[in-house]
């Protein structure tokens, strides 16, 4: 019994750690984007030294790198959501083990394997953090496209804005699709593991 209690406590700590790490990951990305604003403001000091086209290309590269960082942040949020869910399943297995030995315990547990929340849950904190990162990534990607057009001296005001906004929106929806797809694939994998566990 002591080993079950120790295992349950360890799993609960792992689930809590996943939630804390999720907050750190999204906060890091917010700080990275915020630091870029400071970089933008500092260009007034170097604009007289460097060619304006070169500055625009450099900013384009910087914004695209931030978009890439946003994508990796979303992948990290996906992995942390999966880690939390795996901890939940592990705790539920211990519950099921105990319930099999004492049926009266079934009334004590609200969450069991059958009633666990879905891995992909649009109104979860994890999803909202992902949306937040996707919005910032869309802004950085659209801004990167805008600076790139200015850098190559493609000056068509309407076209510049149209390309920047449309590609920014594309980046937003693409990142949300990546998040959803990864979680769906992980759900299939975890379901196979659960089925294998029940069969054994």
pLDDT of the residue at 197: 63
3-class SS letters over the chain: CHHHHHHHHHHHHHHHHHHHHHHHHHHHHHHHHHHHHHHHHHHHHHCCCCCHHHHHHHHHHHHHHHHHHHHHHHHHHHHHHHHHHHHHHHHHHHHHHHHHHCHHHHHHCCCCHHHCCCCCCCCCHHHHHHHHHHHHHHHHHHHHHHHHHHHCCCCCHHHHHHHHHHHHHHHHHHHHHHHHHHHHHHHHHHHHHHHHHHHC
Give me the residue label for tokens 């005001």: 157
Q: How far is CA 67 from CA 6, 19, 41, 71, 155, in A?
A: 42, 23, 20, 6, 24
pLDDT of the residue at 36: 67
Mean pLDDT score, 30-55: 67
pLDDT of the residue at 14: 67
Mean pLDDT score, 60-84: 89
Q: Mean pLDDT check: name the lowest of 5-14, 48-57, 147-156.
A: 5-14
pLDDT of the residue at 8: 60
When pLDDT is cut at 50, 70 and 90, the band that residue 200 belongs to is low
Beta carbons of 46 and 58 less than 8 angstroms apart: no
Q: Does the pLDDT of residue 42 top 70, yes or no?
A: no
Q: Which residue did the predictor score with more confidence, 173 or 39? A: 173
pLDDT of the residue at 95: 76
Beta carbons of 37 and 140 less than 8 angstroms apart: no
Check: pTM over 0.85? Answer yes or no.
Answer: no
Helix axes 125-151, 2-46, angle to 10 degrees: 20
- The chain-wide mean pLDDT, for the chain, equals 80
- What confidence tens digit (pLDDT) does each residue in 97-139 have? 777 787 777 776 666 667 677 888 888 888 988 999 999 999 9
When pLDDT is cut at 50, 70 and 90, the band that residue 2 belongs to is low
When pLDDT is cut at 50, 70 and 90, the band that residue 5 belongs to is low
What does the alpha-carbon distance between residue 142 and residue 150 come to, in Å, rounded to a whole number? 13
């Amino acid at each position: 019994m002591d080993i079950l209690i120790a295992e349950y406590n360890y799993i609960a700590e792992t689930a809590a750690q996943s939630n804390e790490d999720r907050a750190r990951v999204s906060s890091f990305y917010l700080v990275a984007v915020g630091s870029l604003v400071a970089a933008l403001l500092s260009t007034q000091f170097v604009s007289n030294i460097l060619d304006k086209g070169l500055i625009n290309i450099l900013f384009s590269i910087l914004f695209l790198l931030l978009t890439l960082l946003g994508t990796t942040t979303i992948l990290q949020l996906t992995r942390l959501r999966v880690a939390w869910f795996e901890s939940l399943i592990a705790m539920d297995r211990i519950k099921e083990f105990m319930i099999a030995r004492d049926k009266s315990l079934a009334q004590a547990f609200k969450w069991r394997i059958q009633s666990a929340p879905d891995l992909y849950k649009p109104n979860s904190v994890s999803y909202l953090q992902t949306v937040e990162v996707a919005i910032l990534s869309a802004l950085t990607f659209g801004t990167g496209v805008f600076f790139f057009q200015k850098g190559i001296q493609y000056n068509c005001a309407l076209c510049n804005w149209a390309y920047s906004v449309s590609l920014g929106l594309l980046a937003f929806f693409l990142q949300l699709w990546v998040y959803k797809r990864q979680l769906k694939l992980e759900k299939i994998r975890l379901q196979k593991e659960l089925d294998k566990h029940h069969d054994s």
